[in-house]
Amino acid sequence: MKKPVIAVVLGTRPEIIKVSPILSELKRQRTKYVLIHTGQHYSLVMDRIFFTDLHMQEPDFLLGVGSGTHGEQTGKILMRIEKVLIKIKPNIVLVEGDTNSVLAAALAATKLRIQVGHIEAGLRSFYREMPEEINRILTDHISDYLFAPTHISKENLLNEGIDARKIYITGNTIVDAIIRNRRRAQRKSKILTKVAIAGDHFMLLTLRRAENLENKQRLKEILSAVIELCKEYLIIFPVHPRTKNRLKDFKLLKNLKSTKKLRLLEPLGYLDFLKLQSNAQLILTDSGGIQEESCILNIPCVTLRDNTERPETIAIGSNILGGCKRQTIMHAVKIMLKKRRKWKQPFGNGTSAEKIVAILTKT
């Protein structure tokens, strides 16, 4: 039987990382594919650096949409990707995650009667104010292949009435990415020397989620916990561009810059960030992917949110919801610093990409 042509779409930092094992696998299985980059992320440190670190090929199509409001960004991707899909006529469009790029690509494809494969299907925070939650739900409901990382994500899809025959539990491709890059990161990255860290006596912080940045009071509460922790611990904080802009707008950057034991950095490439994660004492984050990575790397995590779409990490004890109040965060940190790192990560054994490509090509 003739193998299908697959259009793989990516647009942001986590998509590049999580799609990289899929591209290697497509090559290994000699499947015809094209790579489309929406350009949602475009800065050197949010985009190009990952292509270099992960030895990825250049995209075949670059849509160059850039930043904008949700409507603007989603609309531009929809218009531009439709033209490309009409031209290349793929059999399947493959998307990963929950960004505006994912929703727009899936919507364009399904209206052109092209099948859609959704990697990381079925994640739910059950918090509709989060833009990513809307993107996930809509994408799942128009997809033909739903690659759920765990039983919990499959269950979420079934509960919404999605046909069980479309759902495959495959694990998460982030495990594949970590296995491929962890040793290389330890060997190649000089980040520990660069930021003068000895041993594992530091915490790693990332903060970028819209709901934590839009409200000044909420952001100030989170930062007050960070400043409090810095009295005792060294904290490394690679700052997402969106966060940097907000900190400037709210005039909070100066105070942070003068906080002793807080190191503000530009966003890091994957090898540097993986090395920092692997060596941290504790991770504080509002990221989705970092909750998974900390769990896989055996590093305790405090999530700076009131909910998560990765409840597996809470259930096994690698992660805790710290909320966004100074007191709740401090309490969560105290608990996680005492945690025995004995959990078994639930995201698969690093063969997710292989499974996904096999499913897509056997039809």
- Closer residue to ligand UD1 (CB): 41 or 326: 41
| Interface with ligand UD1 (CB under 6 A), residue from 245, 255, 298, 349 | 245
What is the nearest approach in angstroms of ligand UDP to the Cβ of residue 155? 22
Q: Which does 47 bind (CB under 5 to 8 A by kind): ligand UD1, ligand UDP, none?
A: ligand UD1
DSSP 221-264: HHHHHHHHHTTTS-EEEEPPHHHHHHHHHTT-HHHHHT-TTEEE
Q: Answer yes or no whether residue 93 interacts with ligand UDP by CB under 6 A.
A: no
Query: What SS3 string covers 131-154?
Result: HHHHHHHHHHHCCCEEEECCHHHH
Contacts with ligand UDP: how many residues (CB under 6 A)? Answer: 15
Site residues for ligand UD1, 263-302, by CB under 6 A, read none
> Using CA atoms, how far apart are residues 311 and 322, in angstroms rounded to an integer?
14
Pick one of ligand UD1, ligand UDP, none as the site partner of residue 40 (Cβ within 5 to 8 A by kind).
Answer: ligand UD1
Which of 8, 9, 12, 92: binder of ligand UD1 (CB under 6 A)?
A: 12
Name the residue type at position 148. A
CA distance 94 to 36: 10
Give the shortest CB-222-to-ligand UD1 separation in angstroms: 16
The item of ligand UD1, ligand UDP, none sharing an interface with residue 100, based on CB under 5 to 8 Å by kind, is ligand UD1
Nearer to ligand UD1, 17 or 229 (CB): 17
- Are 23 and 357 in contact by the 8 Å Cβ rule? The answer is no
Are 59 and 32 spatial neighbours (Cβ–Cβ below 8 Å)?
A: no
Give the integer Cα–Cα distance in Å for 246 and 213. 7
Q: Are the beta carbons of 48 and 73 closer than 8 angstroms?
A: no
Residue 148 site contact among ligand UDP, ligand UD1, none (CB < 5 to 8 Å, cut-off depends on kind): none
Residue 324 beta carbon to ligand UD1: minimum distance, rounded to whole angstroms: 17
**289 touches 17 (CB < 8 A):** yes
CB of 131 to ligand UD1, least distance (A): 4
Measured CA to CA, the distance from residue 164 to residue 233 in angstroms comes to 48
CA distances from 105 to 37, 58, 259 (A): 10, 19, 43
Task: Using CB under 6 A, pick the residue from 154, 208, 246, 355 that binds ligand UDP.
Answer: 208
Judged by beta carbon, residue 200 or residue 249, the one nearer ligand UD1 is 249
Which parts of 99-118 interact with ligand UD1 (CB under 6 A)?
99-100
Query: To the nearest whole angstrom, how small is the minimum distance from the Cβ of residue 206 to ligand UD1?
Result: 9
Instruction: Assess 17 for contact with ligand UDP (CB under 6 A).
Output: yes
Contacts 24+ apart (CB under 8 A), 318-327: 318/294, 318/343, 318/345, 319/291, 319/294, 319/295, 322/284, 324/212, 324/218, 324/221, 324/222, 325/221, 325/225, 326/221, 326/222, 326/224, 326/225, 326/228
* Residue 349, contacted partner among ligand UD1, ligand UDP, none, CB below 5-8 A by kind: none
List 25, 53, 96, 98, residue binding ligand UD1 (CB under 6 A): 98
Residue 39 near which of ligand UD1, ligand UDP, none (CB within 5-8 Å, type-dependent): none
Range list of H helices, 195-341: 210-213, 216-229, 241-249, 253-257, 270-279, 289-297, 311-316, 326-337
Q: Is 289 in the site for ligand UDP (CB under 6 A)?
A: yes
Among ligand UD1, ligand UDP, none, partner that 273 touches (CB below 5 to 8 angstroms by kind): ligand UDP
Cβ-based burial of 241 (10 A; exposed 0-12, middle 13-18, buried ≥19)? middle
120 vs 221, which CB is nearer to ligand UD1? 120
Name the residues that contact ligand UDP, by CB under 6 A.
13-14, 17, 206, 208, 238, 267-268, 270, 273, 287-290, 293
- Binding residues (CB under 6 A) for ligand UD1: these are 12-14, 40-43, 46-47, 67, 98-100, 131-132, 208, 241-242, 245
